[in-house]
Amino acid sequence: MRYAAPTSVAEAVALLGTEPNSRVFAGATDLVPQLRAGRPEPGVAIDLKKIPRLTSVAIDDGTWRIGAAAPTSDLTANEALTADVPGLVYASGLIGSDQIQNRASLGGNLCNASPAADAVPPLLVNTAQAVVAGPDGERTVPVADIPTGPGRTSLRPGEFVVEFLIDRPPPGTADAYLRLIPRTEMDIAIVGAAARITLDADGSCVAAAIALGAVAPTVITVPAASGGLIGQPIDARALAAVAAAASAAASPIDDKRGTVTYRRQVAGVLAKRAVAEAAGRARNGDGP
Amino acid sequence: MTITDQRPGYRYVGTRPVRHDGLDKVVGKARYAADLVLPGMLYGHILRSPHAHARIVAIDTAAAEAMPGVRAVITGADFPELPADDPERNTTRNLMARDKVLYEGHAIAAVAATSQRAAKAAAKAIAVTYEVLPHTLDIREAMAPGAPLLHDDVFTTGLDSEPSEPSNVANRTCYERGDIEQGFADAAVVVEGEFVTKAVHQGYIEPHACVADTGQDGKTVIWCSSQGHFRVRSQTAAMLGWDTARIKVIPAEIGGGFGGKTTIYLEPLAVALSARAGRPVKLVMSREEVFRATGPTPGSVIRLKLGAADDGKITAAKAWMAYESGAFPGPWAMLGCMCVISPYNVENFLIEGYEVVVNKPVNVAYRAPSAPMAAFAADTLVDEIARRLDMDPIELRLLNCPSAGDQAPYGPKWPRIGLRECLEAVRDSDHYRSEPAPGHGRGVASGFWFNIGEASSATVNLNENGTATVVTGSPDIGGSRASMALMAAEELGIDVYDIQPVVGDTEVVGFTDVTEGSRATFATGMAVVEACRDLKRQLCGRAAVMWDCDSDEVAWSDGQATHRAGEHEPLALAAITAEAGRTGGPLGATASLNARGAGPAFSVQVTDVSVDEETGRVTVERYTTAQDAGTAIHPDYVEGQMQGGVAQGIGWALNEEYIHDADGVMENPGFLDYRIPVASDLPMIETIIVEVPNPNHPYGVRGVGEVGIVPPIPALANAVYDATGARIRELPLSPPRVLAAITARNGDGG
């Protein structure tokens, strides 16, 4: 296995084109454990962190551009980003320990394609777009279209994610993310739930999105749960309906981390709580 | 906080100096076995069974031996077959499978090569033909007729009649006293239940590691991490069929053991590889190997029934206790039987224990082995009795509390013990005297552990500048070096930092048993004190030479020789050692002993928890533990042991468990999915050191390493019940299980 560290997107694309058995990485916090567990080594491991565009975090004409390889500790330290998408930043800060946070990235979290990836539900409720580079140039696709199943993505050979685009949320909007882990940290979500809520001046919901992690082969959005909120106040009745719809939308599996019954039940609980938390932030003006 | 029965005024004992080995550990300079690199050293890798149970039809190592960099390949055939009655026979068959593999992870061959990568590749190239057999992982299933049989030469012992068929039940133990029928007839309240616990791992941070260097003279030197290097020597010798004189074992620093490093896994393999290759060989386990191949503590199924009179006096106990022992028989059910009702005086009881082999790694000791599962059953039911009788759970325990002279359920009369004092300490604590916060549930439990003595040796040498070196044979797994130094300082009257405590190898210090059973500070400490007292006699003799008087005119007090009649100015220790060459040569003393009179240990704990009723997640909000230390030689490390036991007990209670797939393959062999607690999972664990000195130790030491892990499981289960009204009798109290219990409670109209 060789190591390469291109310094531009073009150089990385070229390298991927000439080295068929190569693999890109950002923090390598998934790659290294996989190699240690006996997965086949790539011929070339391509480090994307030396490409400035992939590690920058900036707002540009009302749109956040978050480098796919930016360490999550750069996101949690960014106050402006935290004010705009507190749920996404909180989720980013849940991935691994403090040491891991200095390496782990949103791009890695997305492209590792775990159904339990913490950053993906908040990316989805914020309708984040991904800029993808490859042999045919760059294209912009919804983040939701990238994971296609556990460990699988829609990225074509030679492609990688360069950055994420998130439009600055409108006033009265906030997001939230919650996950259930048996411990308090250093764990993988048994269920994760993100919500983004926009309230009008009267406290009535004008826009809503809900996404669930670890309850299906990919992170899913739950329009059945969020749709019912529109035009409603976020009250106990509305939250109960969210919980029921989220539980119904969940199609989890039994595995070492949780059972179908438990995941279904908790998906509803976390969806409801995430909506309440996002609405609370939106109401208090904790969002943008 | 310390509650002291009676204590002489000590100068060093009971103080909290920085441990002598602390700085190097903090800065990463301490040397562990895996750190060692020798010139020409080879790296070993072990091939392990992918099957839970299979017959080995053939092993072909030819391809592996031909691979680049490979210097040696060994299999079970390279080790002698020990006779059936040899106590180490099962150890040797655990370290290298012979005709069958008995669990997933069972070692089957080993390779030494010039790099780790080459060794791993060669191990992969070993062709093993297996005939896969049905396996059994569950106690109840393994005990049932027709279960897959692990051994055709294991027949249940301890039955009334000799069985004609082999069985997975290796042994039945029974403890019986009084008339249980009458006892239950006298009861106003009878409670009973079946309690189920899963296998859990000791979870030490340092994986097993060793380096062996076998010379042309047929002798070998082993550097390794263990709780007892003399046992490493004897077990390695047994497996190789060597005389122990050919083996020298040098103890490396140890990164946690908790009982799991009281046996060997790697050393004979490293020696055999090294002997074949003629070069040193290092073997280091991965975390995954630690989980797949080293000792969990047993899973258990315990059925317990208790009766109590309406005043709360327990009148009868009936227990059926089955413990897994893993792939080979063990003593675990017997230990559970001895502990289960020991915190209570019960006149009528029948306690039966069954040792059951299953297709899992061979069980090894884990901090008060077998007692926590037993306490889960007993202290849950005692809590139920207290509720049924509307009594305070501590008052109920005080009413049934044994004290000196009462007969323990396992036979002997209790010596002076501190259970009552621990119960009173918790009852009077700020924690127990305050109401739980709204929504929090509170649980109380007690626990017992024997503690042991065994053989220890110590050598104390005085240096010419008046400092001392204390060499013992006890690996320091919990601060014992600091304790040895404090006891030596107290005896000799010199500063604790003028004493260098050292763990000596098998050739520089006398035989010493394993650091286990909370024995190091008790037994090895006793040897240190004995050697120091010998030295003080010698020092008085040297002072007599210097003063030209009879040695019985000299006394030792406060670190100096004094003339009884006051005819000479007192001589400090350093003044005598400076003149040692002139007065008779170097000063040193050695003591070797079999320590008797270990003091039984008790702990009483209270905890408050909150439970998320919608997710079943339990948060430990507050925790207080009281434990009888006898005397706390170094209170920091006593508190550390108390807190460590509680932390591990919390993990065991809430989340830890082995998860296997349908083929008997462990699915969670790592700390991501085998969930020991992280720091943020735990509240501050408040400690109350109770000191009821052990009369059989010069400083009253009981041993503090283990009993702290006994009460947490029932304390937390009782607290969860208090918070939710759901009684859970199966571990772990993980979110799905707690939520299911809450859901069931709601369904019952609760």
Q: What are B273-293's pLDDT values in tens digits?
A: 999 999 999 999 999 999 999
B533 and B608: one domain? no
Q: Is A199 helix (H, G, I), strand (E, B) or coil?
A: strand
Helix (H), strand (E) at residue A273: helix A260-284
| Beta bridge partner(s), residue B591 | B458
What CATH code is carried by the domain that includes residue B577?
3.30.365.10
Within a domain: B201:
no
Within a domain: B41:
no
CA R_g for chain B = 27
User: What would the pLDDT profile of A49-70 be if each residue is shown by its tens digit?
Assistant: 999 999 999 999 999 999 999 9
Within a domain: B240:
no
Instruction: Indicate the pairing of strand A44-47 with strand A22-25.
Output: parallel
Query: Is A131 within 8 Å of A161 (Cβ atoms)?
Result: yes
A262 part of contact set with chain B, CB < 8 Å: yes
Helix (H), strand (E) at residue B58: strand B54-60
Judged by CB atoms closer than 8 Å, whether chains meet at B615 and A256 is answered as: no
Distances (CA, A) of B437 to B89, B392, B440, B681: 55, 18, 5, 19
B567 and B603: one domain? no
A200 and A132: one domain? no
CA R_g for chain A = 19
A186 contact residues in B (CB cutoff 8 A):
671-672, 678
B574 and B605: one domain? no
Residues 272-291 of B with CB under 8 A from A: 286
What CATH code is carried by the domain that includes residue A279?
3.30.390.50
Within a domain: B696:
yes
Final residue before a domain boundary, out of B555, B576, B595: B595
Q: Tell which residue, B382, B276, B213, has the closest CA to residue B721.
A: B382
pLDDT band, very low/low/confident/very high, at B45 (cuts 50, 70, 90):
very high
B667 part of contact set with chain A, CB < 8 Å: yes
Within a domain: B47:
no
Final residue before a domain boundary, out of B595, B630, B659: B595
Helix spans in B324-463 (H): 332-339, 371-389, 393-399, 419-427, 430-433
- Rounded to 5 degrees, what are φ and ψ at B717? -65, -40
Number of C-beta neighbours around residue B737 at 10 A: 17
Final residue before a domain boundary, out of A167, A189, A204: A167
Number of C-beta neighbours around residue A254 at 10 A: 11
Query: Is B589 within 8 Å of B532 (Cβ atoms)?
Result: yes
pLDDT over 70 (residue A146): yes
Tell me which residue in B617, B678, B740 faces A185 most closely, judged by beta carbons: B678
B736 part of contact set with chain A, CB < 8 Å: yes
Best probe of the A interface among B678, B731, B733, by most A CBs < 10 A, is: B678
Number of structural domains (chain B) is 2
A136 part of contact set with chain B, CB < 8 Å: no
Name the residue range of residue B462's domain: 453-595
A134 and A239: one domain? no
Query: Is B385 within 8 Å of B191 (Cβ atoms)?
Result: yes
B655 contact residues in A (CB cutoff 8 A):
182-183
User: What would the pLDDT profile of B638-650 be if each residue is shown by its tens digit?
Assistant: 999 999 999 999 9
A81 and A136: one domain? yes
B558 and B663: one domain? no
User: What would the pLDDT profile of B24-43 be if each residue is shown by its tens digit?
Assistant: 999 999 999 999 999 999 99
Q: Which candidate in B579, B621, B706, B730 is catalytic?
A: B706
Q: How are strands ordered across the β-sheet holding B281-284?
A: B70-75, B107-113, B42-48, B281-284, B209-214, B220-224, B247-251
Best probe of the B interface among A34, A183, A263, by most B CBs < 10 A, is: A183
Name the residue range of residue A79's domain: 2-167
A180 part of contact set with chain B, CB < 8 Å: yes
Helix (H), strand (E) at residue B176: strand B169-177
Residues 613-642 of B with CB under 8 A from A: 614-617
Give the mean pLDDT of B429-443.
98
> Whole-number mean pLDDT of chain B?
97
Tell me which residue in A182, A185, A265 faces B655 most closely, judged by beta carbons: A182
Q: Letter for the amino acid at B258?
A: F
Give the mean pLDDT of B116-129.
97
Give the mean pLDDT of B417-443.
98
pLDDT above 90 covers a percentage of chain B that reads: 97
Give the mean pLDDT of A210-233.
97
pLDDT over 50 (residue B82): yes
Distance CA B430, CA B719 (A): 17
B438 and B566: one domain? no
B516 belongs to the catalytic site: no
pLDDT of amino acid B343: 98
A179 part of contact set with chain B, CB < 8 Å: no
B732 and B616: one domain? yes
Distance CA A12, CA A160 (A): 9
> Whole-number mean pLDDT of chain A?
96
pLDDT band, very low/low/confident/very high, at A38 (cuts 50, 70, 90):
confident
Distance CA B392, CA B441 (A): 15
Q: Is B737 helix (H, G, I), strand (E, B) or coil?
A: helix
- Rounded to 5 degrees, what are φ and ψ at B576? -80, -45
Within a domain: B654:
yes
B499 and B637: one domain? no
A6 and A45: one domain? yes
Nearest C-alpha in A relative to B659: A256
Residues ≥6 apart with Cβ < 8 Å to A41: A1, A35
Number of C-beta neighbours around residue B77 at 10 A: 11
| Beta bridge partner(s), residue A149 | A152
Q: Which two tokens stand for residue B378?
A: 């007993």
B654 contact residues in A (CB cutoff 8 A):
182
Within a domain: B243:
no
pLDDT band, very low/low/confident/very high, at A276 (cuts 50, 70, 90):
very high
A183 contact residues in B (CB cutoff 8 A):
655, 675, 677-678, 680-681
pLDDT of amino acid A287: 63
Query: Is A82 within 8 Å of A155 (Cβ atoms)?
Result: no
A135 and A224: one domain? no
**Core vs surface per residue B357-387: b (16+ CB within 10 A) or e:** bbbbbbbbbbbbbbbbbbbbbbbbbbbbbbb
- For residue B267, the distance in angstroms to the closest alpha carbon of chain A comes to 24
A266 part of contact set with chain B, CB < 8 Å: yes
A155 and A182: one domain? no
A131 and A268: one domain? no
Helix (H), strand (E) at residue A284: helix A260-284
Number of C-beta neighbours around residue B438 at 10 A: 6
B457 and B553: one domain? yes
A258 and A221: one domain? yes
pLDDT of amino acid B749: 45
B568 and B586: one domain? yes
A254 and A197: one domain? yes
B735 contact residues in A (CB cutoff 8 A):
180, 182, 190, 262, 266
Residues ≥6 apart with Cβ < 8 Å to B196: B299, B300, B301, B302, B729, B730, B731
A139 and A9: one domain? yes
Within a domain: B269:
no
pLDDT of amino acid A20: 83
A203 and A266: one domain? yes
A36 contact residues in B (CB cutoff 8 A):
286
Judged by CB atoms closer than 8 Å, whether chains meet at B680 and A185 is answered as: yes
Distances (CA, A) of B421 to B5, B204, B452, B601: 9, 32, 21, 12
pLDDT band, very low/low/confident/very high, at B750 (cuts 50, 70, 90):
very low
What CATH code is carried by the domain that includes residue A117?
3.30.465.10
A85 and A111: one domain? yes
B511 and B541: one domain? yes
Final residue before a domain boundary, out of A167, A198, A219: A167
Final residue before a domain boundary, out of B595, B621, B650: B595
Query: Is B647 within 8 Å of B463 (Cβ atoms)?
Result: no
Distance CA B101, CA A219 (A): 41
B603 and B680: one domain? yes
pLDDT over 60 (residue A277): yes
User: What would the pLDDT profile of B567-626 be if each residue is shown by its tens digit?
Assistant: 999 999 999 999 999 999 999 999 999 999 999 999 999 999 999 999 999 999 999 999
Give the mean pLDDT of B302-330.
98
B530 and B609: one domain? no
Number of structural domains (chain A) is 2
